[in-house]
Structure 1
């Protein structure tokens, strides 16, 4: 159970989905960071039609897009922290919230890296990711069993 600021009692639910959303926001923040801070600017130049613009206008558009990406990085980081704090309040344990957040960030970052930047994920990466996912499932089932046992003890 969770006590809200209005002294209402609400069931501890939604923590898992909040942790996943926090991980997604963290991955989106890292994508925007990569776009904004790319030394060559090759990734961000793909979004600007430099063939139709003068060299000076193209440079200006790249700077504007980099600034937008920095702002989006900050927004997604703030959203990630807000969601993560809510997940910490709603999950049965802080370990569960932190593990789900980390694993979802890990997977979303890999998907975005593959789709947006053409990064290659080796078989060993997938094996490691599967082991991490299995560990998350074990943590999640272990914490739900523990909450059930504590609830049964209180009912007696």
Structure 2
């Protein structure tokens, strides 16, 4: 159970790291975030907002890109630490990997819908389910009982 919790946590952290990566490199998302932050800070003073919005076109984007780049690297470090703990506490490495991948896909879809208005259609979910089914099949094929060469498996 502890391995599952660590695996889900590392999947969430992976989704958050990719979110930070999007803000670190995508100028349009970073510019909209800058404008949204200024609108929040200066909601009562429209003149200040318009003066400050020029910051988003000049130096504000550099600060946002740099901040999210540092956040992405930091969250990735924590994610790998958490995933390593998931591997330690799970019965098999593939169990931790399946749980981590499923959580990462799920949280990425939710964050994309909520923050960016992305449409995650049924084809995307079908693809995700097929990937997870493939991982589960790998897990089950990997757990076949070991036998010595030249011997038969006992039927139960």
The C-alpha deviation readout for 1:76-95, integer Å capped at 9, x for no partner, is 10010000000000000000
The alpha-carbon deviation at position 67 of structure 1 amounts to 1.3
Structure 1's unaligned 5+ residue stretches are: 1-12, 147-156
The answer for the alignment partner of 2:107 in structure 1 is: 108
Question: Is it true that 1:28 corresponds to 2:16 in the alignment?
Answer: yes
Which of 26, 33, 41 does residue 44 from structure 1 map onto?
33
Question: Is it true that 1:87 corresponds to 2:83 in the alignment?
Answer: no
The alpha-carbon deviation at position 138 of structure 1 amounts to 7.7
Question: Is the radius of gyration larger for structure 1 or structure 2?
Answer: 2
What does 1:122-133 correspond to in 2, within 5 Å?
122-132=121-131
The question of whether the paired residues in 2 share the 8 Å contact of 1:35 and 1:43 is answered with no
* TM-score calculated relative to the size of structure 1: 0.71
Structure 2's unaligned 5+ residue stretches are: 39-48, 146-156
Distance in 1 between residues matched to 2:2 and 2:141, nearest whole Å: 17
The alpha-carbon deviation at position 136 of structure 1 amounts to 6.7
Q: 1:42 to 1:56 in 2, by over 3 A?
A: closer
The alpha-carbon deviation at position 124 of structure 1 amounts to 1.3
Question: Is it true that 1:98 corresponds to 2:94 in the alignment?
Answer: no
SS in structure 1 of the partner of residue 36 of structure 2? coil
- Aligned-CA RMSD value: 2.8
Distance in 2 between residues matched to 1:76 and 1:88, nearest whole Å: 18
SS in structure 2 of the partner of residue 121 of structure 1? coil
> Please, which moves more after superposition, 59-68 or 126-135?
126-135
* TM-score calculated relative to the size of structure 2: 0.71
Distance in 2 between residues matched to 1:46 and 1:86, nearest whole Å: 39
Distance in 1 between residues matched to 2:37 and 2:61, nearest whole Å: 7
The alpha-carbon deviation at position 142 of structure 1 amounts to 9.9
The answer for the alignment partner of 1:69 in structure 2 is: 68
Question: Is it true that 1:118 corresponds to 2:107 in the alignment?
Answer: no
Where has structure 1 moved over 6 Å in runs of 4 or more? 135-143
Question: Which structure's relative contact order is higher, taking Cα pairs within 8 Å and 6+ residues apart?
Answer: 2
